[in-house]
Amino acid sequence: MEARWKKWCPWGILLLHGLAILMFTKGFLLTRTELPYYSNCSDISVSPCLSSPDANVDNHSSGHLENAKQDQHCWSKPAVDRLVIIILDALRFDFVAPSAFFPEKKPWMDKLPVLQNLAFTQGSSTKIFKAIADPPTTSLQRLKGLTTGGLPTFVDVGNSFGAPAIVEDNLIHQLVSNGKRVVMMGDDTWVQLFPDHFNKSYPYPSFNVKDLDTVDNGCNTHIFETLYQEDWDVLVAHFLGVDHAGHIFGVDSAQMIGKLEQYNQILEKVIETLVRKSEPGGLHENTILLVMGDHGQTLNGDHGGGSAEEDGKKCVSSIQQLDFAATVSALLGIPFPFGSIGSVNAELYALAAGTWNWRDLDTSNQKHQSEMEKWMKNYVNTLCVNSWQVKRYIDVYSASSIIGFSSEDLAHISNKYAELEENWSHSIRNLLTCQTESCSLVMAQITKQVNLYLDFLSHVSELARSKWTEFNLKMMGIGLGTMILSLLIISLAIWSMPTVSGIGFESIFAFLVVVIRACSFLSNSFILEEGKVACFLLATTGIVKLRYSIMRKGMLVEAILFLLLVLGLRFTIEIGMSKQAATSAFMHASSSWITGIALGDSLWGYAAEVGPLLVLVVLSCIVYKVITGNFQGIQKYIIMLTIPSYILIGLHWVLESDTQNLPLLFEGIGRNYIPQAIYALGCSQLLFLAFGMLFNEDKVADHKNSLMIKTLSMLSAWSPMIILLSGKQGSWIALASIVGGYCITRLQNTGKYANGGKARTSSFNLLAVTQWNLLAVCLFFASGHWCAFDGLRYGAAFIGFDEFVLVRQAILLTLDTFGFSLILPVMGLPFLLLGLNQTNPGKNVLFNQLSQMYMAYGLITATTVTATILCVTIQRRHLMVWGLFAPKFVFDVVGLVLTEVMICLASLFYFRRWVVL
Amino acid sequence: MRKYTLPFWALAFSFYSTPVERRLPILFSSPWPSPSRQISAACPTCYPPKTSEFFQALKSFCFEDFILWCRGRRTIIETPAALLLYSHFRRDTETYSFLRAVGRGLCAFPIGALIHAALAIVLGAPVGSWYLLKTINWSLLMSSLTIVPVASVFGSSWRDWQRVFARTEPNDLLEYMLCIPAHGAAIGAWLGAWPMPLDWERPWQEWPICVTYGAVTGYVIGLSASFCVACASTGARRSRQKGD
């Protein structure tokens, strides 16, 4: 009866933690409420602004505005007829223009000279902007931000691979509902975001990161014929190659340079076509071309975070990405999206009228001056509409959302706006409509009003930026409280089990280590250096163990071996962190000696090729030696399958390392079939084990041996897949985990006999479980991961597969990320028990110990996660909350849930036969 | 018993005679300039360094005026003093001469430094040519605080070493004086490493400055604790004698 209750214990904990995490996440990662309202042309009549300023201002519509039909006047006077948007995904600003980020010139800089030439030769009609994106910088978030003019929130990152349609009011919706025809080509994310909006679309699959050319070639074939056609108003071309080249090869690579050169050619051709057709009355007489990146990328080609490199996309004057939707709407004369909080950017808006450098113009030039005045009047009216629209949105938003802006902030906004409106209604509006000569004297007043509007708009967007994440403190509190409560419950449950022995120095020390690690998460610095902290604590436990082994005069070799292992882990972690520092805005790039090694000469490269293979041989030998021990029956053959898997991994690596020398056939086999074969072998091993457990009902006398066989077969089934996904470092890390696990298992017995040499039977060692956990954390960092989305090794998801299938690739990525740090440690935990000095315990004792050990392991993980949650709650207004704390939170929470799922599976697998009766 | 309290008083005097604010920097006293951390270029305004007057004063005192004239002197003075004092109170006075005890201490000096350096590197002390001399300096200091006195007193008696360091079972006052400050220094150094990753951009966060501060603080606390133990045990003994 009691055993049955214990069997469900892990599931209960999982459920409890799942609930707590769900509650907290709901409070913490709240999205902005999306409003179901849409802007309409007729809304303008409610605003204080002029519906069509030039109807009164200038009767003689001049120059290139003649074509603009009066009925298309909606919110603002259309300034252009057609719009070509070319999006180069992950375009770094320094691809286009030199930037001050690096002191010296890098090979990837200035690779799009065509844009620079245009900007500097044709003067007034071309300009380069540095666009500043808000984090999170993933494509989906940026596209959403670009088209809605709002601030996408952190939660949407999770949707990035699923790309749901945008239901909020957005630019594309406005274009379509105002009769503009939109053509789209390139990244198929657009079609997923806007399923029914495009007149014509040429989508290409975007998720195969290894494919640099499909999307770009697709764009290339369609863009030129489309440019000659008349049946569209807005053309969107989204090129992906640079993003993919960055993900796979990094910024500083030949592939990246090649892609950029290709883009340069395409852009040259596009511009040539546009220019050829731009004669008066031509197809592109009044067309604006926007070449932009949706986000940047870091040096190793990843993005998703909030580092300065990623946010800065292309230019010189800067433009907030928020402003894109409003500015484009104003240019085309359509209503601004309802939820847009951006402002109409003066310089971009002025480009269309050719007056962007009006400040520099000779004021004595009458023609220029009148042009400029006309533009200013138009612009001030546009800003009036813009401010009115933003104010309307803020009002509606705070009315419909319970926790919106604070009342002081709202009052402040209202006051500011009322002041603006009064000034507008009493003076400016009249000035705009007056037609006498005296009007020219009021330019100063208009300029002042423009600045007031811009000030108001930037104030609102700043406020929105700072307040947008609406934390639901009640939900967060409930979640946190449940977590803390669950910790108490687990502690009590462990305590109440019969096998617990008294509290010794080791237990207190282990408790202290866990608490210290948990407390370290309260500071952002320690989160950044989490790997080092874990390693420091692991080394401390190792030193304590060394002290014990000197005290007991035994296992000195194991203690020293363990410290050497920690030393190795420490250097590996530092190398991983130097990788992180290269991409992170928060970290110092340090340790010059590491780069000295990492660069390496041919000998080092040779060692890096051969070393992993040798280690694989060692691993195979270990497996072989284990099999030839005292193994019988079907388990032996299941474990045996691991050796061919290792051989296949070796073959795969050899084929990958020099593909040039091999015929194409072998290349294909090496790239995809071998990994697939390894996955198939691993899955069949797991299936055999599962079925074997269901049907194999033989009674064993030696429970210890039976448990060992089960554990070994489980580990050998998982390991080939995880090693393969981790790449060449995988075999080293597998070896490290075997050595570490062996040392911990051996060393746990040194602390015994503390008082007078009497062995306490059947007490599990809390310190050893803590060490096991710390080793797992160290392995996470040593295998080149860190708790940020750019710390995911996306390449691992495409080992063995070329196409993107959400579930499959997500599983592979999870296996890579948590394989060594979570799956193997949890599955291998019974070894700790088997290493205890105890003579053949009964099955109930063994079961109790094992479940206790698993609960202790879960408790340690849950404690650190609770600390993370607490820290996130405290630091929720911290500058780095989205850059650092939230990713850490997501990683920890996913890790906890996965740990507990694995514990449940392990308890099903290891305990089943004991609990049947 | 009185003779065992003598080295304690001598050492304590040598510590307490220097004003407290001078004590810490002298002991560490790196002759190499500390690399001033650069404020993160990407995010210079993340943490505006707070110009707390206390830190300013401490910084200028520790790194500008003081280090200049007393670099390295304390380790040079401290080590021979400890060596001679503890050698005087060597065990096995009959078999070992005073000079031999000094010799043992001198031998143990680099060996202890090596052990400390190795453990520090395992724990995460920075490696590289820039830090090499700093690590040597620090580990020599640690050695003079922990290993050298014990080596002078016990020599190569492994049982005694094991008793004092691994099992922490000191028997008499002298062993208390060896054991508690040494443990204090080690624990203090361990605790002193914790501020190192913090982004406060203080020069004292560099390896091994704060670790040294921690070690010295721990040593002083250990010394005081052993003094208390000494007082308590002599007091107890006296009262017992009175009772007899």
Q: Do A879 and B119 touch (CB under 8 A)?
A: no
Query: Residue A62: what pLDDT?
Result: 38
From chain A, the residues in CB contact with B46 under 8 A are 586, 879-880
Q: Is the pTM of this model over 0.80?
A: no
Average pLDDT, chain A: 78
Interface test with B, best of A102, A520, A526, A570 (most B CBs within 10 A): A570
Q: What is the mean pLDDT of residues B62-80?
A: 50
Q: What is the mean pLDDT of residues A805-819?
A: 88
- What percent of chain A lies above the pLDDT cut of 90? 15
Q: Phi and psi at residue B154, in whole multiples of 5°?
A: -95, -20
Query: Residue A507: what pLDDT?
Result: 83
- Summarised one tens digit per residue, pLDDT across range A833-878 is 888 776 666 777 788 888 888 989 999 999 999 999 998 888 776 6
* A29 or A323, higher pLDDT: A323
Contacts of A428 (CB under 8 A, 6+ apart): A380, A445, A446, A449
* A741 or A401, higher pLDDT: A741
From chain A, the residues in CB contact with B40 under 8 A are 585-586, 588
Which among A402-416, A732-746, B147-161 has the top mean pLDDT? A732-746
- How big, in percent rounded to 5, are the helix, strand and coil portions of chain A? 65, 5, 30
Q: What band does B193 get if pLDDT is binned at 50, 70 and 90?
A: very high
Q: What band does A207 get if pLDDT is binned at 50, 70 and 90?
A: low
When mean pLDDT is compared across A35-49, A322-336, A427-441, the lowest value belongs to A427-441
Residue with tokens 């495009």: A198
Which among A10-14, A214-218, A355-359, A566-570 has the top mean pLDDT? A566-570
Query: Residue A225: what pLDDT?
Result: 87
Q: What is the mean pLDDT of residues B179-190?
A: 91
Q: What band does B103 get if pLDDT is binned at 50, 70 and 90?
A: confident
Joined tokens for residue A94:
């320094």
From chain A, the residues in CB contact with B37 under 8 A are 588
Q: What is the mean pLDDT of residues A232-257?
A: 83
Residue B235 CB neighbour total at 10 angstroms: 10
Q: Does residue B146 sit in helix, strand or coil?
A: helix
Q: What is the mean pLDDT of residues A321-344?
A: 85
Q: How high is the ipTM of this complex?
A: 0.77
- Summarised one tens digit per residue, pLDDT across range A744-794 is 998 888 765 544 444 444 467 888 999 999 999 999 999 888 887 777 877
Query: Residue A818: what pLDDT?
Result: 92
Q: In terms of Cα–Cα distance, which of B1, B25, B11 is closest to B182?
A: B11
- What percent of chain A lies above the pLDDT cut of 70? 75
- The answer to whether A172 touches A147, Cβ cutoff 8 Å, is yes
- Summarised one tens digit per residue, pLDDT across range A526-577 is 988 899 999 999 999 999 999 888 887 778 899 999 999 999 999 988 888 8
Query: Residue A912: what pLDDT?
Result: 64
Tell me which residue in A550, A586, A592 faces B43 most closely, judged by beta carbons: A586
Q: What band does A795 get if pLDDT is binned at 50, 70 and 90?
A: confident
A68 pLDDT higher than 50: no
Instruction: Give the count of Cβ contacts less than 8 A between chain A and B.
Output: 65
Q: Do B40 and A880 touch (CB under 8 A)?
A: no
End-to-end CA distance of chain A: 9
Half-sphere exposure for A263 (CA within 13 Å, toward CB): 32
- Summarised one tens digit per residue, pLDDT across range A614-649 is 999 999 998 888 888 766 667 778 888 888 899 988
When mean pLDDT is compared across A237-241, A470-474, B9-13, the lowest value belongs to B9-13
A684 pLDDT higher than 60: yes
B2 pLDDT higher than 60: no
Joined tokens for residue B169:
């079972």
Q: What is the mean pLDDT of residues A166-190?
A: 85
Residue with tokens 């050829």: A276
Q: What is the mean pLDDT of residues B236-242?
A: 77
Query: Residue A5: what pLDDT?
Result: 65
Interface residue ranges in chain A relative to chain B, Cβ cutoff 8 Å: 307-309, 523-526, 528-529, 532-533, 535-536, 539-540, 542-543, 547-548, 550-551, 563, 566-567, 570, 585-586, 588, 591-593, 879-880
Query: Residue A240: what pLDDT?
Result: 85
The CA distance from B167 to the nearest CA of chain A, in Å, is: 6
- Summarised one tens digit per residue, pLDDT across range A23-45 is 888 778 755 666 778 888 877 77
Classify each residue of A814-826 as buried b or exposed e, where b means 16 or more C-beta atoms within 10 Å of its C-beta.
bbbbbbbbbbbbb
* A916 or A276, higher pLDDT: A276
Contacts of A824 (CB under 8 A, 6+ apart): A715, A718, A719, A722, A737
- Summarised one tens digit per residue, pLDDT across range A277-303 is 877 777 777 888 888 887 767 665 555
Classify each residue of B154-166 as buried b or exposed e, where b means 16 or more C-beta atoms within 10 Å of its C-beta.
bbeeeebbbbbbb
